[in-house]
Amino acid sequence: MSQIVEVKVPDIGDFKDVAVIEVLVQPGETVRVEQSLISVESDKASMEIPSSAAGVVKEVKVNLGDKVSEGSVVLTLEAADAATGAAATAPASKPAAAGAPAPAATSTAAGSVAPSAGPRAAAAPPAAARTGPAPASYGGKADVECEMLVLGAGPGGYSAAFRSADLGMKTVLVERYASLGGVCLNVGCIPSKALLHTASVMDEVAGLPDHGISYGPPQIDLDKLRAFKDGVVKKLTGGLAGMAKMRKVEVVTGVGTFLDPHHLEVTGSDGGRKVVKFQKAIIAAGSQPISLPFLPKDERIVDSTGALLLKTIPKRMLVIGGGIIGLEMATVYSTLGTRIDVVEMLDGLMQGADRDLVKVWEKLNAPRFDRVMLKTKSVGGKATDAGIEVSFEGEKAPDGPQVYDLVLVAVGRTPNGKRIGAEKAGVAVTERGFIEVDRQMCTNVPHIRAIGDIIGQPMLAHKAVHEAHVAAEAAHGEPSFFDARQIPSVAYTDPEVAWAGKTEEECKAQGIKIGKAVFPWAASGRAIANGRDEGFTKLLFDESTHQVIGGGIVGTHAGDLISEVCLAIEMGCQPADIGKTIHPHPTLGESIGMTAELFEGVCTDLPPARKK
């Protein structure tokens, strides 16, 4: 007997109100369990929401641009029988990019609850309750044997390998790049920050005439600038190689593919092959940039890796995607002299951050952009001698195609789960390529764990490092769990935008009653002395517990300052804990203490609060 059931958005971690960017099914279509129904996008990545039941779609309840959270109804379908219908009300498997384990601290309508003072929660059952594919069986010989294999040497991977070695496990680390560090150190976080530092210094010098000090226009030597960037990368990756050697971690260079649950084949750039036999494994294979199929293959169309090569300084550049990565690269190229257009299909840039933080950045950065095209998307591209001709559709689409010297595609990243032969190891991979894990980073195969981008968002190196330590320690039998109460995000733009814990938008969506305090940097002696007082510091407190549950900072060095807010959230601090902590003066960091004082009504660096 058929039954009409509702299919809802399952647990997607800490992410709320993510925008629907694509509807993948329509009424009358037959769907299977785990089939992707819609695509949604946050500030860091896009993800697909799977179906928790099989049947025929009766009605799609969401449209493009709608915001959805856990529990939102995606569609109704006619299930084949009652058993299938029941599946829709059972917890659905987590969507692709939301595989990060849930925090140990619980959240209720009243807000976050501090973890108990006793031991951490007992081990959760492996994500493994999910059935994986039938594993293969390899009968050949092995060239290398180890207790722990780590696939991928990004920040998560090398941290997992080093921690495993420190715990006494014989460890092999497999990495496709010639140097350790993965995307982050080689072609991501580190080289981009080197260029952003240079851009920041250039912008600061440009403002010195107001201080009575003037220089001539900058003379840009791209070869030297690239050499500086590459030198930064070489220093860090070289240091990693030294630490691997000191720990006796064996590094095998090449692309790794599982042969069965205990063997991995590594193919080197020269075509040579090695087989590694392992007792345990940690998958840290990361992600790669999403490409747009309607754009032609052309060296003038690049992802973040291509943009970091800095081959030329284009006169005109289009950034597709208004997230953090695109805006950071826009900052670099703009400072070097490029005119920038940005196209973003959602209604604002830097999604994920509260709008009051972003508005400060937008005001200061308006001169960098010729066009900021919100609620607009690129729909076509053509390579011509004059440049890349791009067509647009949407609310702020220009009249006719536009021609650019360089097009940066920064619309998110996709995991590498389907590129490592995981099915041969019996590891379950979602349709989108993510691997689900429990709070000890365990996959459905008990001796294989996974961390980092490949298990879901937020796709951040600092999250992966903490997961790596948990994975290595849990594999060694330690009672280690991933129970973070917050994971900070930072846009290393100018000014920087940083936030941690819950945002105001999340609190509103979850019905959490909060108190808020905002300290303007216009009252900060250090910010004024620096000539950069446009920013502010904000703290959010749960009205029921009086604990800090979120915070945001916009201004110079916000990324460095947010760490105190992170610690305060993890410790369940109340405003007095922060405000009565003596901060050095004059610093930007003391704005955090003053914000807490402001919330308590005892701040003497601002006019007295009006009595209610």
Active-site positions?
585
CA atoms within 13 A on the CB side of 138: 20
- Which three-class secondary structure state does DSSP give residue 307? helix
DSSP characters over 497-560: EEEEE--HHHHHHHT--EEEEEEEGGG-HHHHHTT----EEEEEEETTT--EEEEEEEETTHHH
Distances (CA, A) of 534 to 333, 430, 488: 23, 44, 22
Only one residue has tokens 């830097």, namely 350
> Residue 588 and residue 463: Cα distance in Å, rounded?
26
Token pair recorded at residue 385: 């001698």
Question: Judging by beta carbons within 10 Å of its beta carbon (0-12, 13-18, 19+), is residue 420 exposed, middle or buried?
Answer: buried
Backbone angles phi, psi at 8, to 5 degrees: -115, 160
- The DSSP code for 442 is B
SS (H, E, C) 408-438: EECCCEEECHHHCCHHHHCCCCCCCCCCCCC
The residue type found at 449 is R
Q: To which H or E segment does residue 315 belong?
A: none
How many Å apart are CA 427 and CA 285, to the nearest integer?
Answer: 14
Distance CA 365, CA 379 (A): 26
Torsion sign (Cα): 225, 229, 230, 232 = positive
- Rounded Cα distance between 239 and 38, Å, is 43
